[in-house]
Amino acid sequence: KSLVILITGRGSNMQALLEAKLQVDRITVISNNPHASGLEIARQLGVETLILDHRDFPDRQTFDAALAEKVDTCQPKLIALAGFMRILSDRFVQRYQGRLMNIHPSLLPAFPGLGTHARALQEGIRIHGCTVHFVTLQLDHGPIVIQAAVPVLPGDSEETLAARVLQQEHRIYPQAVRWFMEDRIRLNGNQVEVTGASV
């Protein structure tokens, strides 16, 4: 059972996954950014890392094809996007449908895309959060595996709100990946069924 984690930057969700002591045979971290600080964290934890710089490729299709090739050498049961800041082509998404997961910092379907915390504050919502979902062709819209809610507190800034949400990200992403690795997740259309779940 192998897991591939794709990152671009800080890698705190990756770190949460690596520290979760998942029952897997092999973990590979792939970054499209050679300067991602997450790479250093992975190395320190003794995890195999690969770099595939998207700037070395003429277009998205070519990059995604090379990425798929790297991913396939790992024969992953699951590919977890953890702050991977590149939109993946339809072809890539289709190739790994049902085994491609993402963590998004909002309670989807609210606030897909970037800048979720600023938009949440702007809208004056009182409950915010994060979502682990399967990746489908529509950006930030796939079947939802698990969500966690946090309050928006008076005086919150984008930073304080992001930090509160991030704490929950670090809790629910390992949970979702553990369920998947234990074969406890069944996809039924847009519904995710979890057997024997204890959140």
Burial of 157 (0-12, 13-18, 19+ CB in 10 A): exposed
> Using the rule CB under 6 A, is 18 a contact of ligand GRF?
no
Is the CB of residue 82 less than 8 Å from the CB of residue 5? yes
Does 85 belong to an annotated binding site? Answer: yes
Window contacting ligand GRF (CB under 6 A); options: 2-10, 43-51, 90-98, 119-127 = 2-10
Q: Has 117 been annotated as catalytic?
A: no
Does 181 belong to an annotated binding site? Answer: no
- Taking the complex as a whole, the smallest distance from the CB of residue 169 to ligand GRF amounts, in Å, to 5
List CB contacts of 189: < 8 A, sequence separation 6 or more.
143
- Taking the complex as a whole, the smallest distance from the CB of residue 154 to ligand GRF amounts, in Å, to 23
- How many distinct helices (H) and strands (E) make up the chain? 6, 9
> Using the rule CB under 6 A, is 104 a contact of ligand GRF?
yes
> What is the x/- site pattern for ligand GRF, positions 67-86, by CB under 6 A?
---------------xx---
Tell which positions 115-174 bind ligand GRF, by CB under 6 A: 166, 169
Give the other-Cβ count within 10 Å of 140's Cβ. 18
Does 60 belong to an annotated binding site? Answer: yes
> What is the x/- site pattern for ligand GRF, positions 83-102, by CB under 6 A?
x-------------------
Q: For ligand GRF, give the closer residue by CB, 54 or 65.
A: 54
List CB contacts of 11: < 8 A, sequence separation 6 or more.
29, 36, 37, 38, 39, 41, 42, 82, 83
Task: Let me know how long the chain is.
Answer: 199
DSSP three-state, residue 27: strand
Q: Which residues bind ligand GRF (CB under 6 A)?
A: 7, 9-13, 38, 82-83, 103-105, 166, 169
Residues annotated in the binding site, as ranges?
Answer: 11-13, 60, 85-88, 102
